[in-house]
Chain A
Amino acid sequence: MTAISAEERAAIRESFARLLADQCSEEDVRRTMASDEGYDPALWRAMADMGIIGLVVDGEHGGIGAGAVELEMIMEEAGAHLLPGPLLSSAVLAAALVAASDDVGAKARLLPEIASGELKATVALTGDTGSWTREGVMVRAEFDGDRARLFGSASYVTAANVADTLLVVATTAEGLATFVVDPAAPGVGIEALESWDLTQRLSRVTFDAAAAVPVLGAGERAIEHALALARVALAGEQAGAARRIFDITIEYLKTRVQFGRPIGGFQAIKHMAADLLIEVESATSAARAAAQAFAEDAPDREILVNLASFACADAFSEVAAAAIQMHGGIAFTWEHPAHLYLRRARADAQLFGNSDLYRERYVAALEKAA
């Protein structure tokens, strides 16, 4: 990992925020929501040029070589703008999974193209249960010499509709393993699922004797590591998005007048706002602490990453839901942005495992530490 100074960090954040303000406005997001691809290729290229897509890929493979702290930071911005598209799937989850493997060849083939944005990859991990646990994997691999064939299905696969490469987690006799699959290959079926959050596309992917190339050393440990980094990134996205919809709501409370005064002056509303501020600040603290612990491989890393996973998911869900209530009728209209945040919050709360799962793992980690 490259050492990145506080100044460089602030500069990355600022230029990314400016890019998103310019090319990922609410209007842009709505246009992308209505598109077939579900992402904006021009913005994708601009993000690649800026180094955002190669942020966590090491310098040797054409990336910036930054760590979890920088990733969490840019994800706060991505969340604030509800950035649609494969950033999390390709630049974080897929990149981290390949990077965590022992496969020198796969790294050399995939990472430079992922970092440059030319190749969009995604990870097919969970089956129809959507649990993102070992037990939830519903693809199995059969070996025939060096060649492997995959059977079964994966669901809730993010951005598979635009993926050039699939990384598929499958069960083998030796436990979980990861395989590279060409989405256009015979035996691979990609069925787009209609998703409630239109800014994130989901697919169900089926494998019927699909040809697959194993990624060496990308077993359970590497999968867990990549998933943990993706969860830190997701926590950052949730914290950033929660703060933005909160800020939008507070502004409205100051300008919407009823009974002769701004509604933010009424305790029924003001007290909700104060409680939500605790949620917003807690989410930010949790996401950043998890990123720091991940980057340093700190002893409390497991505790903090699990905490961030449910605390940020719950905070974003609560803030986005309350935002609609506090706005009143205006936020019940399609044209108002509040529901876009609610949609994202509800999707993010399920992605990579839900809050119940991570509350359980948080207690388990605390028990282990005690």
Chain B
Amino acid sequence: MTNGSGDIRGEVRAWLAAHWDGETRRPRDGQTADFIAKVFEAGWAVPSWPEPWWGRGLDKADASAVISEFRKVRAPGAGQDRTNITANTVMNFGSDALKRKVVPDFLSGRVHQCLLYSEPGAGSDLAAIRTRAEREGDEYVINGQKIWTSGAVTADYGLLIARTDWDVPKHEGISFFLIEMRQPGIEVRPINQITGDSHFNEVFLDNARVPAENMVGVEGQGWKVLQTALAVERLVMGEGAGERRQGSQKSNVVSLIDIARDAGKLGDSLTRQRIAQAMAYRQLNTLNMMRAKAEMAGGSSSPIMSLGKLAMSRILHEDARVMTSILGAASMLDGADHARAADVNYRTANAYMTSIGGGTDQIQRNIIGERVLGLPRETEVDRNLPFRESRAVTG
């Protein structure tokens, strides 16, 4: 892996030493939010972006070095040029005015976002969305329903795709907006999930309004903008963000070895084989990601990055399967008195968040097959029809 120049590492270390307590993993002064704001002001939030745009204009190797120094001491806020979905999307496609208006708030963690993509009738076939955006003066008026939106209750902004043209093929009539969530036309209803959590929501848009200046990219080009936003999201999921429960900074990885020891099965050779396989899936994915980053730091693009999310879904399902086999009959139990069982059952259900959310494993395999391996595209019978005539509309 490329290490970046010593100068930049030294500078980051010195800065971190002044602002972050590596022992307690807390900011030296104030709250985490204050620290993240300082990270932003220092340019570490987006080190590869140019200086006028809140970055430091670093090359890939040096930018990776910044992230790695932050990781070493578990300090948050750096490297959002790779991971912040909203900031990257607006930065790539938004007008200069929109960038200045919203990007600093997103990078400094002052505002929260949610993703308004999927609809009841548009899951894997996301381009079949029917939420409409109609221009009225300086605004667009939004009507429709979104689903699988996490963080909608606390979000300040939503990244919204809506249809602005019904007379062109489905991918061509979509526009991308940054909509303010706190307004009368938006209602959020939590979804009760199979895990018992309510992490996701339905969002009803009833004459909600968004200023025309908050369109990201140009009208009708929303699909292209969305691809960038999705690529960032999948990258983050492949690195295991799906393993962190909401609100928890702590990684949720548990040791299969510990579980087997506690269950008195660490000496069982079949159990050991299963543990090895599950742990290998995880370590191989880590090694793949490290190699991909090294290749990208060296200037070449890496196809490996697109594999991470699919690999992570296998890891999470396999972990849950192996834990279940270790626990045996106890896995039928639940509740606080049966913490291990409750945990494994939660994991079993929650693994679907990664294998369905953000593009199902099956859609991921299509994407890998087509974009990485260059295999022919799926046939899509309504791809070139005016959307109005598609079965998504006619039923």
The residue on A at minimum CB distance from B311 is A278
Task: Tell me the interface secondary structure of chain A in the complex.
Answer: helix
Judge if A264 is at the interface, Cβ distance under 8 Å.
Answer: yes
Selected from A253, A264, A265, the residue in CB contact (under 8 A) with B379 is: A265
Q: Would you give the 0/1 interface string for A344-370, flagging 1 where the beta carbon is closer than 8 Å to chain B?
A: 000000000000100110110011001
The answer to whether residues A262 and B280 also contact, given A270-B366, A284-B291, A285-B288 and a CB cut-off of 8 A, is no
Contact A273–B257 (Cβ < 8 Å): no
Q: How many A-B residue pairs have CB under 8 A?
A: 110
What separation, in Å, do the CA atoms of A355 and B362 have in the docked complex?
Answer: 29
Contact B272–A360 (Cβ < 8 Å): yes
Q: Of residues A254, A270, A310, A363, which shows the largest number of chain B Cβ atoms within 10 Å of its Cβ?
A: A363
Judge if B279 is at the interface, Cβ distance under 8 Å.
Answer: yes
Judge if A221 is at the interface, Cβ distance under 8 Å.
Answer: no
Instruction: Return B351 CB to nearest CB of chain A, in Å.
Output: 17
What separation, in Å, do the CA atoms of A271 and B366 have in the docked complex?
Answer: 7
The answer to whether residues A261 and B376 also contact, given A271-B369, A277-B368, A307-B284 and a CB cut-off of 8 A, is yes
B257 — which chain A residues lie within 8 A by C-beta?
Answer: 363, 366-367, 370
Selected from B273, B365, B376, the residue in CB contact (under 8 A) with A275 is: B365
Judge if A286 is at the interface, Cβ distance under 8 Å.
Answer: yes
Contact A286–B287 (Cβ < 8 Å): yes
What separation, in Å, do the CA atoms of A270 and B303 have in the docked complex?
Answer: 16
Judge if B342 is at the interface, Cβ distance under 8 Å.
Answer: no
What separation, in Å, do the CA atoms of A311 and B283 have in the docked complex?
Answer: 11
Contact B366–A267 (Cβ < 8 Å): yes
Q: Would you give the 0/1 interface string for A67-91, flagging 1 where the beta carbon is closer than 8 Å to chain B?
A: 0000000000000000000000000
Within 8 A of A (CB), among B351-390: 362, 364-366, 368-370, 372-379
Contact A360–B276 (Cβ < 8 Å): yes
Q: How large is the interface on B (under 10, 10 to 19, 20 to 34, 35 or more residues)?
A: 35 or more
Q: Would you give the 0/1 interface string for A249-278, flagging 1 where the beta carbon is closer than 8 Å to chain B?
A: 010011000000110110101110111011
Within 8 A of B (CB), among A88-106: none
Contact B304–A281 (Cβ < 8 Å): yes
Contact B375–A264 (Cβ < 8 Å): yes
Instruction: Return A199 CB to nearest CB of chain B, in Å.
Output: 27
Selected from B277, B280, B373, the residue in CB contact (under 8 A) with A277 is: B373
Judge if A282 is at the interface, Cβ distance under 8 Å.
Answer: yes
Contact B272–A271 (Cβ < 8 Å): no
Q: How large is the interface on A (under 10, 10 to 19, 20 to 34, 35 or more residues)?
A: 35 or more
Judge if A289 is at the interface, Cβ distance under 8 Å.
Answer: yes
B283 — which chain A residues lie within 8 A by C-beta?
Answer: 303, 307
A307 — which chain B residues lie within 8 A by C-beta?
Answer: 280, 283-284
Contact B368–A267 (Cβ < 8 Å): no
Within 8 A of A (CB), among B270-329: 272-273, 275-277, 279-280, 283-285, 287-288, 290-291, 303-304, 307, 310-311, 314
Judge if B269 is at the interface, Cβ distance under 8 Å.
Answer: yes
B369 — which chain A residues lie within 8 A by C-beta?
Answer: 264, 270-271, 273-274
Selected from A254, A267, A289, A362, the residue in CB contact (under 8 A) with B280 is: A362
B310 — which chain A residues lie within 8 A by C-beta?
Answer: 274-275, 278
A278 — which chain B residues lie within 8 A by C-beta?
Answer: 307, 310-311, 314
Contact B368–A253 (Cβ < 8 Å): no
Task: Tell me the interface secondary structure of chain B in the complex.
Answer: helix
The answer to whether residues A359 and B375 also contact, given A271-B365, A282-B284 and a CB cut-off of 8 A, is no
Within 8 A of A (CB), among B233-261: 255, 257
A264 — which chain B residues lie within 8 A by C-beta?
Answer: 369, 373, 375-376
Judge if A201 is at the interface, Cβ distance under 8 Å.
Answer: no
The answer to whether residues A363 and B376 also contact, given A278-B307, A285-B291 and a CB cut-off of 8 A, is no
Q: Of residues B310, B365, B372, which shows the largest number of chain A Cβ atoms within 10 Å of its Cβ?
A: B365
Contact B364–A274 (Cβ < 8 Å): yes
Contact B273–A359 (Cβ < 8 Å): yes
Judge if A288 is at the interface, Cβ distance under 8 Å.
Answer: yes
The answer to whether residues A311 and B284 also contact, given A278-B307, A366-B279 and a CB cut-off of 8 A, is yes
What separation, in Å, do the CA atoms of A166 and B103 have in the docked complex?
Answer: 69
What separation, in Å, do the CA atoms of A360 and B273 have in the docked complex?
Answer: 6
What separation, in Å, do the CA atoms of A84 and B371 have in the docked complex?
Answer: 35
What separation, in Å, do the CA atoms of A97 and B84 have in the docked complex?
Answer: 52
What separation, in Å, do the CA atoms of A189 and B134 have in the docked complex?
Answer: 88
The answer to whether residues A274 and B379 also contact, given A307-B280, A359-B273, A370-B255 and a CB cut-off of 8 A, is no
B272 — which chain A residues lie within 8 A by C-beta?
Answer: 359-360, 363
Instruction: Return B11 CB to nearest CB of chain A, in Å.
Output: 26
The answer to whether residues A310 and B276 also contact, given A267-B366, A284-B291, A289-B287 and a CB cut-off of 8 A, is yes
Instruction: Return B299 CB to nearest CB of chain A, in Å.
Output: 13
The residue on A at minimum CB distance from B266 is A367
B374 — which chain A residues lie within 8 A by C-beta?
Answer: 250, 254
Contact B288–A274 (Cβ < 8 Å): no
A288 — which chain B residues lie within 8 A by C-beta?
Answer: 291
Contact A286–B375 (Cβ < 8 Å): no
The residue on A at minimum CB distance from B302 is A281
A289 — which chain B residues lie within 8 A by C-beta?
Answer: 287, 290
The answer to whether residues A363 and B279 also contact, given A264-B375, A267-B378, A281-B307 and a CB cut-off of 8 A, is yes
What separation, in Å, do the CA atoms of A356 and B310 have in the docked complex?
Answer: 25
Contact A277–B307 (Cβ < 8 Å): yes
What separation, in Å, do the CA atoms of A296 and B364 have in the docked complex?
Answer: 37
Contact A274–B373 (Cβ < 8 Å): yes
The residue on B at minimum CB distance from A370 is B257
Contact A362–B378 (Cβ < 8 Å): no
Instruction: Return B240 CB to nearest CB of chain A, in Å.
Output: 16
Q: Of residues A265, A285, A311, A367, which shows the largest number of chain B Cβ atoms within 10 Å of its Cβ?
A: A285
What separation, in Å, do the CA atoms of A273 and B283 have in the docked complex?
Answer: 22
Contact A265–B288 (Cβ < 8 Å): no
B interface residues, Cβ below 8 angstroms from A: 255, 257, 266, 269, 272-273, 275-277, 279-280, 283-285, 287-288, 290-291, 303-304, 307, 310-311, 314, 362, 364-366, 368-370, 372-379
A interface residues, Cβ below 8 angstroms from B: 250, 253-254, 261-262, 264-265, 267, 269-271, 273-275, 277-278, 281-282, 284-286, 288-289, 303, 307, 310-311, 356, 359-360, 362-363, 366-367, 370
The 8 closest A-B pairs by CB, nearest first: A265-B376, A270-B369, A264-B375, A359-B276, A274-B365, A285-B287, A274-B368, A282-B284
Q: List 6 extra interface pairs beyond A282-B284, A362-B276, CB under 8 A.
A: A262-B376, A265-B375, A271-B366, A275-B365, A284-B291, A370-B257
